[in-house]
A and B are shown apart, each in its own frame.
Chain A
Amino acid sequence: MSTATLTHGHDHDHAPTGWRRWLLSTNHKDIGTLYLIFALVMLFLGGASAMLIRAELFMPGLQLLQPDLYNNLVTNHALIMIFGAVMPAAAGLANWMIPLMIGAPDMALPRMNNLSFWILPAAALMLLLSFVVPFFPGGGSQINTGWTLYPPLSLQVGMSMDFLIFAIHLLGISSVLASINIIVTILNMRAPGMSLLKMPIFVWTWLVTAFLLILVVPVLAGGVTMLLFDRHFGTSFFNAAGGGDPVLFQHLFWFFGHPEVYILILPSMGVLASIVPTFARKPLFGYHSLVGAMIAIASIGMVVWAHHQYTIGMSLGAVKYFMIGTIIISIPVGLMIFNYIATMWRGAMSFETPMLFAVAILLMFTFGGLTGVMLAVVPADLQYQDSMFVVAHFHYVLLPGAVFGLFAGVFYWLPKWTGHMYDEKLARIFFWVNVISFNVTFFPQHFLGLAGMPRRIVDYNAMFTEFNVVSSIGAFVFGLSHLLLLYIVVKTVRGGRKAEAKVWEGADGLEWQLPSPPPFHSWTTAPQVR
């Protein structure tokens, strides 16, 4: 007889088993797991493309990749990492944790939850097709535009661009559905007594992120649809010869693209708000100002998009506005970082892997944020723009700000999800290898950019060799270190020391009141929150 159902005790859930459990799942934890597995697969695909890019840039000259394949990889690396790895991983955390944290049995819209996940594999297939189609006879040229897809270059690309446009549509639908679900869940399913201003910051960051997604993803969908029409239906939205405007696409793209940065970062910053108090063994510093900061980051972040386009030639008034608006974002971001450091201050800290990542994030994200302020300053940006300095900057923001936050969250909650403790020793080795090789990879790229190396070039002058060699060596170690992450996660899922309900000594929050792993319907009776 089935022993699996027995271990669930009194939950008469009649859940499907086998492959149906996953395909037909309406359970927030199973769907969360699906999201996380999907993200992990995509992480390795995106990582493989990054390592190919760095292999080509290891030495000057064209060794490994033809220029169009190189550009194709540059495009795919970005899209896979953003839409395939980071966003689904953050959605996986949301699915797993939001019901546990607010005392709900499940997400508010379980069937839509299933749909929003299962659109993703289809979208990923489209994305991969856009990459491989040019290698088949009649497949047209490769996507050599970068993820920004600027016309007129994107109008020259073959049918692979159409696959990509539909992939973006599907990814967008998935994100918007997931966002609606998260907003409805947070607003309607909270336990009695949990007012909005008693919610964990992680839940707050996802509420803000979900609103951001609903506001900006349709703009991207509109932009790429106009691109599709320009390509096939004779319109001239972005064609100057037909009365259109190539710069309009840039505005549409970055109206989505800049808030997207905050979409990637905010959930991870929410994870920090859980981890730092736990391991500092004292309450979060400045809860209300953190909530305010998150809302301010999202609001101001939505109206400063054109700082990605200082070199197109806007009016003096426009560039001044975008410069000052962008610099102003440092206020809520600075407040956020300050609150986390103040939470550590006078704490009784211990440094398990999640906390190690949290500290690394605070230091490196601050560094990335400060180069961001430098980039916001128009006169200097006229020099930095489209150089390797920008590549270094956004990897310093997105890896610590988003990816490391997700790693921290996975290590923090993995014992809760699986019921097993992960191997702390291996995890610490992973942390040190990962963080050091990350810095070896990206720190030298600042110098490359300042010295004049443009980004997205397949071949470079010998004067840029030294730092590129260092960067590539770092990248190979960084990329391979994730195999250790995979090993640790698989090992923890398969077994290990039993985790208690309250895994961490200093942990606080509803999720730690449920056993590890939590029952099938997380909170069958809502807890009372004081």
Chain B
Amino acid sequence: MRASPHTLPLLSLLGVATAANAELGVNFPPPATTVGQEIYDVHMVTMTIATVLLVLVFGFVIYSLVHHRKSRGYPADQHFHESWFGKWSWVIVPVLVLGVDLTIAGSANRTLEKIWNVPKDQQMMDLKVIGHQWWWEYQYLDHDVKVESRFVAEDKAGGNYLREVDHRLVLPTHTKIRFLHTSADVNHAFWVPEFGFKRDAIPGYIGETWAEITKEGVFRGQCAELCGTWHARMPIVVEAVSPQRFADWVQEQKAIKVAAAAEAGSDKVWTKDQLLAKGEPLYTEKCSACHQPNGEGLPPAFPALKGSKVATGPIAGHLNIVLNGKQGTAMQAWNALNDLEIAAIVTYERNAWGNDTGDVVQPAQVKAAR
């Protein structure tokens, strides 16, 4: 059979349309996990059934709109509702709809069980995912490694702004990973579209999900549960690497952690300039989302530190609020930071933006205040 002369342009047009669609993003991104692929298939089956039904309904309505018009002189059938069809449609229609319903539910059921039943019979990698206002904390429970993942500003993130972080969630491929979801403050939701699922992070709850990543790559998602002011600035970036590369990465992280602990644990007395140099980037990373880079905050939700009673008053009070947080506000307890980090941040806050108290807070003071 010879292809009609119109086939080629039509096909290329279709090709362009698909390419444009891929860029514009009109459907789920290609899944990157075993279960994600099944979820994608369930979505496509359901959407296809819905589309067929939609075409059917539109078809009947449009046919009726065209033919059954007064302007065409169509005589209204006053007894249509009394025909056998009118008498029995209340049985026929529900039975047909029930058939469609069962098809949809049936196709979803197997995948649903696979998602919900986290494999229990084998060794899995455990990853605790903790939502914070407004950053993610990933604890690799088997490796004693922790990653803090925060939004980065537009000048650094470029085209991935709001979908780029400072420290990525590095995960191995072809490994069954158990995610344990919780939150330190309000509800968040962990969502990476390539994984096919999202899960709420709820304080007081540990939610369990699992995934086995099938391909290497960088997968980007965002927090999906409204969590306050900077909900839009909680990106999730997964970097899936081979298990070997992952093992190397774990070793690197451990080395960094050991070095940092050694530095913080030494009894060294730090100079003001050293602490300020450490304090500024730490402040930018951990505090500036709320209190703003200029220290002026976003009152009334996030008070200013510039000229504030806490940041210019007694050091003990300042340390207390940083270490223990403030109940009923978004200010969390920062006691997971080490003594040196807190000393640097507090020193910076007490000397920046014209708060020139001249105070120098040493790690030993933080230790005593804990």
Could you tell me the distance between the alpha carbons of A158 and B228 in the complex, rounded to whole angstroms? 13
Tell me the minimal C-beta distance from B291 to chain A in angstroms.
14
Q: Is the CB of A155 within 8 A of B97?
A: no
Say yes or no: B39 contacts A382, CB within 8 Å.
Answer: yes
Task: Collect the chain A residues with CB atoms within 8 Å of residue B312's CB.
Answer: none
Residues of A within 8 A of B60 (CB): 341, 345
Q: Select which of B53, B93, B225 is within 8 A of A335 by beta carbon.
A: B93
Binds A, one of B3-11, B40-48, B245-253, B359-367: B40-48
Which residue of chain A has the shortest Cβ distance to B67 in the bound complex?
A: A346
A292 CB to closest chain B CB (Å) equals 7
Let me know if B80 and A362 touch, CB within 8 A.
no
8 Å CB interface, B76-106 against A: 76-78, 80-81, 86, 89-90, 93-94, 97-98, 100-101, 104-105
| A140: Cβ under 8 A from any B Cβ | yes
Interface centre among A330, A350, A467 (most CB of B within 10 A): A330
Whole-angstrom distance between the alpha carbons of A359 and B66 in the complex?
12
When chains A and B are docked, how far (Å) is the Cα of A146 from the Cα of B74?
51
Please provide the chain B residues from 47 to 89 with a CB less than 8 Å away from any CB of chain A in the complex: 47, 50, 53-54, 57-58, 60-61, 64-65, 68-71, 74-78, 80-81, 86, 89
Distance A188 CA – B186 CA, assembled complex (angstroms): 50
- Kindly specify which of B23-31, B119-127, B269-277, B345-353 makes contact with the partner chain: B23-31
> In the complex the two chains form, is A156's CB within 8 Å of B328's CB?
yes
Partner of A282, one of B76, B193, B221, B330: B76
Bound-state Cα–Cα, A145 to B39, Å: 30
Segment at the interface with A among B138-146, B160-168, B255-263, B279-287: B160-168
Residue contact A457 to B300, C-beta cutoff 8 Å: no
Q: How far is the CA of A342 from the CA of B77 in the complex (A)?
A: 11
For residue A320, which residues in chain B have a CB less than 8 angstroms away from its CB?
109, 112
* A450 in contact with B25 (CB, 8 Å): yes
**A326-363 interface code vs B (CB 8 A; 1 in, 0 out):** 01101110110111011111111110000000010011
CB neighbours (8 Å) of A338 from chain B are 89, 93
Stretch at the interface among A177-185, A458-466, A495-503: A458-466
Contact across chains for A335 and B199 when beta carbons are under 8 A apart: no
Contact B202 A312 (CB under 8 A): yes
- State which of A150, A328, A334, A366 has its C-beta within 8 Å of the C-beta of B187: A150
| Interface of A, helix, strand, loop or mixed by DSSP | helix
| Interface residues of B, count at CB 8 A | 94
A4 at the interface (CB under 8 A from B): no
Q: Which of A146, A370, A456 has the most CB of B within 10 A?
A: A370
A191 sits at the interface (CB 8 A):
no
At the interface, yes or no: A288 with Cβ under 8 Å from chain B?
yes
Q: Which residues of A have CB within 8 Å of B228?
A: 71, 144, 153, 156
B54 touches which one: A148, A311, A367, A447 (CB < 8 A)?
Answer: A367
Instruction: Say whether, besides A141-B300, A348-B68, A379 and B187 are in contact (CB < 8 Å).
Output: no
Q: How far is the CA of A463 from the CA of B233 in the complex (A)?
A: 16
Complex contacts, B224 vs chain A, CB 8 Å: 385-387, 454
- B334 within 8 Å of A (CB atoms): no
Contact between A323 and B112 (Cβ–Cβ < 8 Å)?
A: yes
Residue B153 interfacial (CB < 8 Å): no
Which of B25, B50, B105, B200 makes the CB contact (< 8 A) with A323?
A: B105
Contacts of B104 in A (CB 8 A): 327, 373, 377
B320 within 8 A of partner (CB): no
Binding site for A on B (CB under 8 A): 24-29, 38-39, 42-43, 46-47, 50, 53-54, 57-58, 60-61, 64-65, 68-71, 74-78, 80-81, 86, 89-90, 93-94, 97-98, 100-101, 104-105, 108-109, 111-113, 115-117, 159-163, 181, 185-187, 189, 191, 193, 196-200, 202-205, 207-208, 220-233, 298, 300-301, 328-330
Complex A-B: 15 CB contacts under 8 Å: A60-B161, A68-B298, A150-B187, A150-B225, A245-B204, A282-B80, A345-B60, A349-B65, A363-B58, A366-B57, A373-B46, A383-B196, A447-B27, A452-B29, A467-B24
